[in-house]
Structure 1
Amino acid sequence: MTRAIDSHLAGGNRRSLAGYQPEHFLWRQQGGVGVITLNRPERKNPLTFESYAELRDLFRVLCYVDEVKTIVVQGAGGNFCSGGDVHEIIGPLTQMTMPDLLAFTRMTGDLVKAMRACPQPIVAAIDGVCAGAGAIMAMASDLRVGTARSKLAFLFSRVGLAGCDMGACAILPRIIGQGRASDLLYSGRSLGGEEAYQWGFHNRLAEPEALEATALQWAQEIASGPTFGHAMTKKMLHQEWSMSVDDAIEAEALAQAVCMMTQDFQRAYHAFVAKQKPVFEGD
């Protein structure tokens, strides 16, 4: 059954990505899963000023796109992302004034903010090189599937910069712990896939030839769940970082009460009574 949406809400709070064709990466939709592929394999998929901005804008729009339930982010050609392009970003940065540099660093940070704010859970499929801003994109995702041959590196100290880039000092310790995050951010060293899995950065490991299929299957499984509830879980996971335990418990009480008003909650109950598997629709 198609849900009725008031016309004034549909115009302002709903968007469609039908026909969407980005200029600086690939996009496809596979059922309820949106797939982003960084597609500069000859350079190990580095980011540019333009791709940063286009990725940021896409994740912002995804807040209003109902038909996309989850996201997979991957790289082409056996690598995830080598970070900012040395020639197209790093070189020009050395010639910029302070106001322009600050505009750039705020723009890159806005990509992470947009990834954390979009309601869809993001699964990063990580193979080969995952460095610099690529490591940040993987970190900003909700879930990560890696390969044993993947190499994770927060390279900022290697180029004379601080490790505190794009939220790394806030997010990375929450994934792998303060001590291990300090190791990576001070040294800039590479972390192999097996070690990244042992440290909890990778949630799962897959063989390189099965990586995309594994990430897609996981994303599809999540997409088949109660997507309104998943969006609430993502929001709470992010917001509760800055809450006391008491405030978090109260926030979760309110969030769960809202979810109890959804049709998906009703569907789950009736399916349980009928000894059937619920079919969730995200409303």
Structure 2
Amino acid sequence: MVKPWTEWVVSTRVKVSHRSYGLLTTIAENWQSGRVLCIGDATHRHPPINGLGSNTCISDAFNLAWKLAYVIKGWSSSSLLDTLTIERKLVGDAIVRRANDGMEAHRRLWKIIGLDHNSRKTFSGLLGADSKEGAEMRDRYREALEATELEIQALIIHVNQIYLDSKAIVVEIGDEAPNSPNLEPLRDVKVSTYPGYHLPHVWLVTNGRSRRVSNLVLCGQGRFALLTGIGGDGWIRAIESILGPDGASARAYKIAYCDYIECYREEYPVRGMDENGAILVRPDHFVAWRCQNLVKNRVRKLSSVFDQILGQQERCS
């Protein structure tokens, strides 16, 4: 039986056990202790380089909010909350590391430019000097400026958050994770519907004259979303048999000349499944599970997926 919501404590300020990376930087080792759940500034603190703090705090809350709501409503066991540290600590580590790297790049630049009148005067003189020392200074200055470029270009770090080792993620046997050896994770978006990845955004319409909507709008809002294609009626019937046609915790859509049409031929290259396959998206827009094509016992398959994600209990519909 789920305990009253007043017995759960969510904090963004409480002191927890941290690993220190320097005077301004710490990261929590564990984001949960019993019925106390910590997110935001309580779990990661770092220099303001890149402006990563508020964005990370918001995504922490987005990760936790639906899980806590499902537990309170009785749709999930409390084991779902155990995924908070597993999913978000790696994100916190990456954010703290990027902020530290950015701070070090700035320190290097400030050391070259100088922090007082005399040192800056020396720097300016060498910068315009036709000499060996001037050439060396210009090289050092150029390299230091280039090292700060990621402060502007690293916003993708918020898009490339991936949950691979979580119990709230289910991977089918034989489904291989994408391999992108030449991808720069701080600049290039990792586009995939592999479980644990954020659902890629694509534009959709209901017909040729309707306003376009993002596929992300179909997901979220406190519900799971099942996305399938032309041959996916079996998946629609299966999830309705589990949750009911008006299931409170899930909804289903057929994409590609069905409920919705892709606007710019973007959905097919990234869907990662056949036209009769299925993608299950969590309320926080992360892919929970996918199946390449239609399987025989779809009700059993979906039931086992939900049981693994939410825990063994009776789900409300």
- TM-score (norm. length: structure 1): 0.27
- TM-score (norm. length: structure 2): 0.25
**Greater Cα radius of gyration, structure 1 or 2:** 2
